[in-house]
A and B are shown apart, each in its own frame.
Chain A
Amino acid sequence: MAKILIVDDDEDFVSAVNLLLKSNGFDVAIANSRQEGMEIFDKDNPDLVLLDVMMDEPDDGFVMAQSLKKKAKNIPILMLTNVGQVTGMDFDKDSEMVPVDDFEQKPIMPNILLEKINQLLGK
């Protein structure tokens, strides 16, 4: 069973995604901050990370993605954010500053989220 780590400080979002993933047969771990996310990553060794951008600091998601890829080059990261809606910012997927495998705006339809996850796990 593939294990997915959700790192997001929006508790409603986390509980909804948790439910969705569990009911689709995934194992789920949850963290609400970058620090917690890194700790759980080291402990639980997940197969994929769903990562928010703005948490305690507005750039936490980018910083965490960089640390993750330094530790485990091949870990798939799906960045999920509403930073675009909140701030109007638009980000590039870039191997050094934003080292993520895919980038999606919130809100996201459940079927699309599952499709993206399966795609990333399958590669």
Chain B
Amino acid sequence: MQIIDRQKVNEQIRDLKKKYGDDRSALMPILQDLQEIYEYLPDVVMQETAHSLGIHPVEVEGVASFYSFLRTKEKQGKYVIRLCRTISCDLAGKSNVARQLENEMGIKFGETTKDGKFTLEYTNCLGMCDRGPALMINDRLFAKVDPEKASQIIADCRRDFLKSDFPKVVPSDVKKAGPILDHDLKPAEAIKKALSMSRSEIINTIRESGLKGRGGAGFPTAVKWQLAGAAKGKNKYVVCNADEGEPGTFKDRMLLYEHTDFLLDGMTIGAYAIGASKGFIYLRGEYLYMKKYLEEALENRRSEHLLGKNILGKDGFNFDIRIRMGAGAYVCGEETALIESLEGYRGEPRNRPPFPVDTGFQGNPTIVNNVETFIDSALIIVKGSEWFNIHGTEKSKGMKIFSISGDCERPGIYEFPFGIKVSELLKEVGGEDTKAVQIGGASGHCISQKDFNRTIAFEDIGSGGSIIVFGPDTDMLQVARNFLEFFVEESCGQCTPCRDGNPKLLGGIEMLENGRCSFTYLNELKKLCETIQNASKCGLGQSSPNAFLSIVDNFKPEILGRVPEAD
């Protein structure tokens, strides 16, 4: 057993507090850095962290045990292999890779090899859905892994000679760029323009553009900014939601890397509009490889007076941004869970009201927006609201960036106007013989051919950008099972309908698979879906039955075909 020197731990914590601050909100980054050092979080380390932050050790363990990327029980291997088991990778052949990995290392998922070299784990969507099966080793990514490649990767690890598929950051696969992705704007142009406007003029320009949040829920951005701007409070915050955990979404990964300046422009404009002086980028743990790059980008902006005190010479306008890493919890994409996580707590969604615009980070007015929303805002400020709202529909204005994966010839990132028909989209991506399309990720809806004439828009089928295409041979029960496994794993467990209801639905899928689910029970399960939708506290629970319900409704013959007899 490793002997740990308490005094040394304390010194390390002291240094980390200098870097991250000495209040509770420093807890997550401190634990993340300590785990880097000790390869897991031994009891002493958690105890000393607790003492140092003036909280109970149980609180620290409670936080550490919530996040799948923090380990409290055993030392992880030198190489932590995380294989994506989410839908696109599942359909692309993850099971064969999983078997190969287990054979190569002689361990099961969830275990560490005796020599301490490897830990093998499943993870959810890595944001590489267009090139699955994907896996991650420490912070390096590997795409299109087949059993042969898996075997090669393990051999490379054994020789300590592991080369990532992507030396720096994953290059994007933009298949279709429009006005948002392809423009002539220069970095900081938007901030300069914004600083020549009044705060209300900025918000009104965004209002006239009709921009609605790109993270999925579609809340009007101007309303959010106006309410936060009007809210009482000296310390206001701007938070970029870069948690991108929705299965099938990978456009924020590209935007973060290739449109960084416009994202930071958008955040800075948001700060000016609401009167905030501090901001965070909450970056999902799976995108750790991007942290250094983003930190450099922030540093460059500080030296160009685009962040810091009196930005671009504007007296009194001070704003800076820090990066905070998530740690493998999908629910932390929900904005109140995200704020809890930023504050150093378990990522458990809050009751609303109060809303973050009034009572957000540490009780202060806070706007939380998606990466794409900030980028759109920056572009709108320079190019004007009409430039944006000539695209799209009456209720869903503008262009939208989609992440498209699954059984199609040209998966990748596409920019389409809102209101595009599913059939048009399928033609563009080469998915003409498609059987079903999942719109909006695991929490979205699965539609069949009869609905391919419907449109993607908030007033029809909404989407934060995830589109997963299923070919003619897809087993729709496997799809439903995969999504439910995802929700069972990712539920934070606070409310009974979500915590206990989703395993029941998963049980129902198993019964359907074995032809043992009666119509009566299926109807009971549908009623349970309604309860989960109505009685859950946050969007995760409220939307978790969508995929189950739409698959059961749209693919009845296929699913009921396995029911031996009706009662």
Contact = CB atoms under 8 A, between A and B. Distances in A.
B355 interface: yes
A58 B358 contact: no
Nearest to B353: A87
Contact of B199 (A58, A59, A91, A97): A97
Interface string B210-254: 000000000010110011011111000000000000000000000
B358 A59 contact: no
Most buried by B among A58, A59, A86, A98: A59
Contacts of B230: 59, 62, 91-92, 94, 97-98
B226 A90 contact: no
B309 to A, nearest CB: 22
B307 interface: no
Contacts of B204: 63, 66
A11 to B, nearest CB: 23
A63 B204 CA distance: 8
Contacts of B229: 97
Interface in A83-114: 86-92, 94, 96-98
A57 interface: yes
A87 B358 contact: yes
B200 A66 contact: yes
A86 B207 CA distance: 24
B359 interface: yes
B198 interface: yes
Given A63-B226, A66-B200, A57 B220 contact: yes
A38 to B, nearest CB: 14
Interface residues of B, number: 22
Q: What size tier do the contact residues of chain A reach?
A: 10 to 19
Given A57-B223, A58-B223, A92 B200 contact: no
Interface in A63-97: 63, 66, 86-92, 94, 96-97
A50 B233 CA distance: 25
B354 A91 contact: no
B231 A89 contact: yes
A103 to B, nearest CB: 11
Contacts of B200: 66, 96-97
Contact of A96 (B198, B223, B355): B198
A62 B275 CA distance: 16
A92 B227 CA distance: 11
B207 A96 contact: no
Given A66-B200, A89-B353, A90-B232, A97 B226 contact: yes
Contact of A88 (B233, B275, B353): B353
Nearest to B274: A97
Most buried by A among B200, B353, B357: B200
Nearest to A88: B354
Contacts of B353: 86-89
A89 B223 contact: no
B232 A58 contact: no
A87 B354 contact: yes
A87 B355 contact: yes
Contact of A90 (B198, B199, B207, B231): B231
Contacts of B207: 63
Interface string B126-153: 0000000000000000000000000000
Contacts of B226: 59, 62-63, 97
A88 B358 contact: yes
A50 B437 CA distance: 50
B198 A89 contact: no
A56 B299 CA distance: 42
Nearest to A94: B230
Nearest to B220: A57
A89 B358 contact: yes
A76 B206 CA distance: 27
A3 B200 CA distance: 28
Nearest to B207: A63
A94 B359 CA distance: 18
A68 B359 CA distance: 28
B155 to A, nearest CB: 58
Contacts of A91: 230-232
Interface string A13-44: 00000000000000000000000000000000
Interface in B529-549: none
Interface of B: 198-200, 204, 207, 220, 222-223, 226-227, 229-233, 275, 353-355, 357-359
Interface of A: 57-59, 62-63, 66, 86-92, 94, 96-98
10 contacts: A59-B223, A62-B226, A63-B204, A88-B354, A91-B230, A91-B232, A96-B199, A96-B200, A97-B230, A97-B275
Given A59-B227, A87-B358, 11 more contacts: A57-B223, A62-B227, A87-B353, A88-B359, A89-B227, A89-B358, A90-B231, A90-B232, A91-B231, A92-B231, A98-B230
Q: Which A-B residue pairs are the 9 nearest by beta carbons?
A: A88-B354, A89-B358, A87-B353, A59-B226, A97-B229, A92-B232, A90-B232, A97-B230, A88-B353
